[in-house]
Structure 1
Amino acid sequence: MRSEKEMMDMIIHKAKEDDRIRAVTMEGSRANPNAVQDTYSDFDITYYVTDVRDFTADRSWIHTFGNILIVQCPMDWYSHPYDYTSREPFAYLIQFADGNRIDLTLQDVKDIAKERENNHPRAVLMNKDSFPSLLPLPIEDAFYIQPPEEKEFFDTCNEFRWLSLYVSKGVCREELYYAKHAYDVLLLPMFLKMLNWKTGIDNHFRVTTGSSCKYLKRFLSPEEMERFQHVFPDGDYDTICRCLFLLYDYFHELAGFVAGQLHFHHDTTEAERVRQFLVQRLRDRGYYR
């Protein structure tokens, strides 16, 4: 596997030798001193070029970076095909056979003034024309957990309870994927919002738990982390039910804390009423013991 230095040297060398590439920045975890940086970390690179079309009309040039395992072009997707006559941004997500990965975005220099509005962490690796709008941004404030307004808090609690009913319905019908989808894809994000708010309060809203909450373990005690791990069910209906009530009670404990700290109203009456309904529904089907 090529080292970080080898990868960076290659990225910079390409930009130096190609006059059409006028600036280079690095975003993502490698530009953020607080992020995890290891051999799995992507190289999130942006080339600011004189004309994006020069780099999208023929894709063969990306093979100069190494032996490509697979490449994806998210801007050119079946539901939103890319207009190759345009100069809109374009990205190559490149996984190399040696384990390295470059997420390479092409931006047209005609739009570089918009970078003044960018507040995400980045390092400026090259700026041939000294564009004033291209400044290094070493801090991650843009990713910090944001405190909710009371309406968002209320709606999140309401949505969590509402979606809990979907899980129970899927279990009672023995519709496994319906129940798992409702739990994993719909219900858990509401729970994670509440857990993030609690984490934000504990840390004065000056932290981020990262994409998909991947850094949560930094902020949870060993006991809290163990409790968190136990809310993920497998494909067994009894386990889904058990986890549903673990999640339900955990969520409303967190909601009570958040409401108390932010001086919000917490509708414990609705929470208890829905819980009792879930107990009765699942007990009638033999799933709550």
Structure 2
Amino acid sequence: MMRTEKEVLSQFQKWARNNELIRAAVLTSSRVKSDSETDFLSDYDIELYVSDLSSFKKNDEWLKEFGSIMVRWPFKPRSTGFKNASWLTRLVLFNDGVRIDFQITDQLEIEEDVYDSGYKVLLDKDGITEGLLEPSYSEYIINKPEQLEYETLVNEFWWDAYYVPKYLWREQLPFAKYMLDYSLRYSFLHKVIEWHIGLKNDWSVETGIFGKRFKEYLDDELWAEWKKTYAGADLEENWEAFFKMIDFFRRLAKNIAKKLGYTYPEEVDKRVSNFCREIREKKRE
């Protein structure tokens, strides 16, 4: 049976109090935000401030305190670029389904605004968290794009767009899927969706990583259109999804330009779209 939040945090705090290396511990992310909906799959994001990192770098023996491990990442203790190289990452899924993401550092000075997205001090033996500011929860708020940022993104979307029909026509599905579902979607379309949502909400909301809260902010019509930009492995389905995606992108990007007084590249859109249709209609010999 999966442990409850009360059981997990009680177990952690007991361990941390009795471990001299642990000087402070801070809970972050969804479990400290009042407007977040957590469920049995929600992680526990815990940052540990320790007096010595060496034993944590050596092995994962200390993790046994929290249960049997199903899987962990990275495989061996190392820094993964969280904040900077002085942080050690141990993301752990235990056999009862509880997941704890530990970030560990021996830097015992904390910048006062580092937890602007929310925090809860679980333990502080030396008072190193006493100067922390109250969070404003503004770090991930969607920002209004400057004109150059908007125009650069929209024009670069159309540059990458033609790669999809190019490789669909060649029936080289892996490359086409990469361009459709990674490059176009995550590098360009998601940003335009964020701007659309920010515009609709006075630039005062955030949508989570990889658009996980898009459904909360898109109306039913847009949500239905957005889902049509996905496809499986069938070539024809991907052709349809691609044209649905550029239509969806165009609709949002043009509205954003109109509202912000920016310029949408109509001619670039027209030329690239026409070329993409020509590629689709070209017969293979």
Partner residue, 1:120? 117
CA contact (8 A) 2:116 2:135 kept: no
Q: How many residues align?
A: 279
Partner residue, 1:210? 208
CA contact (8 A) 1:23 1:128 kept: yes
Partner residue, 2:7? 6
Structure 1 residue 129 and structure 2 residue 130: aligned?
no
Partner residue, 1:20? 21
Picking from 169, 172, 192, the partner of 1:172 is 169
Picking from 192, 210, 220, the partner of 2:218 is 220
Structure 1 gaps of 5+ residues are none
Distance 1:270 1:116 in 2: 43
Distance 2:76 2:193 in 1: 33
Q: CA RMSD in A?
A: 2.1
Distance 1:33 1:74 in 2: 33
CA contact (8 A) 2:115 2:135 kept: no
Supply the AA of the counterpart residue of 1:180.
K
CA contact (8 A) 1:122 1:136 kept: no
Supply the AA of the counterpart residue of 2:51.
T
Partner residue, 2:103? 105
Partner residue, 1:46? 47
Secondary structure in structure 2 of the residue aligned to 1:142: coil
Question: 1:1-289 maps to which residues of 2 (within 5 A)?
Answer: 1-73=2-74, 88-110=86-108, 112-114=109-111, 116-132=113-129, 135=132, 137-189=134-186, 190-285=188-283
Structure 2 gaps of 5+ residues are none
Distance 1:116 1:191 in 2: 31
- Show CA shifts across 1:111-160 (max 9, x none): x2345444332211222211256526444210111111111111111111
Change (3 A) 1:134 1:8: farther
Secondary structure in structure 1 of the residue aligned to 2:204: coil
Distance 2:112 2:70 in 1: 32
Secondary structure in structure 2 of the residue aligned to 1:141: coil
Give percent identity, aligned residues only.
Answer: 28
Distance 1:274 1:284 in 2: 15
CA contact (8 A) 1:145 1:196 kept: yes
Secondary structure in structure 1 of the residue aligned to 2:142: coil
How far apart are residue 81 of structure 1 and its match? 9.3
Judge which range, 137-146 or 113-122, deviates more.
113-122
State the 4+ residue runs in structure 1 displaced beyond 6 angstroms.
none
How far apart are residue 29 of structure 1 and its match? 0.9
Instruction: Give the alignment's TM-score, normalised by structure 2.
Output: 0.91
Secondary structure in structure 1 of the residue aligned to 2:162: helix
Supply the AA of the counterpart residue of 1:63.
K
CA contact (8 A) 1:147 1:205 kept: yes
How far apart are residue 264 of structure 1 and its match? 0.7
Distance 2:12 2:129 in 1: 22
Change (3 A) 1:174 1:89: same
Secondary structure in structure 2 of the residue aligned to 1:251: helix
Instruction: Give the alignment's TM-score, normalised by structure 1.
Output: 0.90
Secondary structure in structure 1 of the residue aligned to 2:110: helix
How far apart are residue 92 of structure 1 and its match? 0.9
How far apart are residue 97 of structure 1 and its match? 0.6
